[in-house]
Each structure stands twice: as C-alpha cells, then as structure tokens.
Structure 1
C-alpha cells in the first residue's frame, strides 16, 4: 500500500462521517420542500403511502450518493495536492 493510500485512510474515515451528517441534513431540507413535513417516512410507518415511502427512499439514496461522491473526490484531490499521489 502506497503512502498516499495510508495517509488517506484517516482522512477518508473523517470525511465519510462528515458527509453522512451533511447528507442527512440535506435530505431533511429536501423532504421539507417536497412534502412540507419535518420527518420523512420510515418504511414501517403505517400511516404513510407506498408512494411517499418509496419517493423518500429514492431521494435519500440519491442525496447520500451525490454527497459521498463529492466528498470522496474532494478528499482524493486534497490528498494528491498534499502528497503528490492519487490515493485511489
């Protein structure tokens, strides 16, 4: 394993935790805009429709994927700037 990969491990872990929190906050805001409600439905919410549950799940997955990709890419670029080597 090269030095860039080793250096990136703790950075990647910290960025992963931060991106999860950021994505969660972004999803809550997006759901408020869509439904006008504070809480997105859980799959086991009896009073929610299939449509609401599936839309919420798809939106959450999309937001988490985009935020994770953006944060991972930014971390890799920053690691290359510091070490001169791409961590991937």
Structure 2
C-alpha cells in the first residue's frame, strides 16, 4: 500500500484514532481534575464563581493532556503505518 492508495486507505483509520484520542484525553483530564481539585467538573471560563487561577490551571492541564495524547497517537499511527506499508507517512 503505497502512494495515494495508501493515504486514502489510512485516512479513515487516522480519523477514528483522532476521535478515540479525544475521548481518552477528555476522560483522563476529567479524572485528573477530580483528583487535583476535588471537584467533579472542571471550571468553565464563563463561570463567575470561579477565579482566574482555577480556570487557567484547568485550561493548562487540559491543554497539556490533549497535546501529549495527540502526540502519542500521531507517533503510534506513524509507526503502525511504517510497519504496514514499509514507508514513513508524509
């Protein structure tokens, strides 16, 4: 599976992996926020009862988790593609 056919065939797999990664990252963030803050829900930026520190800490934690999960899935997908096709994806 090389060239355009390989890219077309792997596109749905990459989309599915992206959705799964988002779900995993969201669940991981929810659990870590619950441990870190004791609250079941992370603060919403529009919640007037929450302070700047809490809102920005939640956003930073969420961003870091999503970035790490995205990088891990992207790297894993590239390695899987290399094993399947023999070439590193573009």
> TM-score scaled to structure 2, two decimals?
0.90
Gapped regions of structure 2 (runs ≥ 5): none
Alignment partners' CA distance in 2, 1:69 and 1:4: 21
Gapped regions of structure 1 (runs ≥ 5): none
Deviations 1:19-51 (A, max 9, x none): 000000000011011101110001001110000
Q: Which residue of 2 aligns with 1:55?
A: 57
Q: Tell whether 2:82 aligns with 1:80.
A: yes
The structure with higher relative contact order (CA 8 Å, sep 6+) is: 1
Alignment partners' CA distance in 2, 1:5 and 1:50: 44
Kept in 2: contact 1:41–1:56 (CA 8 A): yes
- How many residue pairs are counted as aligned between the two chains? 88
Runs (4+) of structure 1 moved beyond 6 Å?
A: none
Q: Which residue of 1 aligns with 2:35?
A: 33
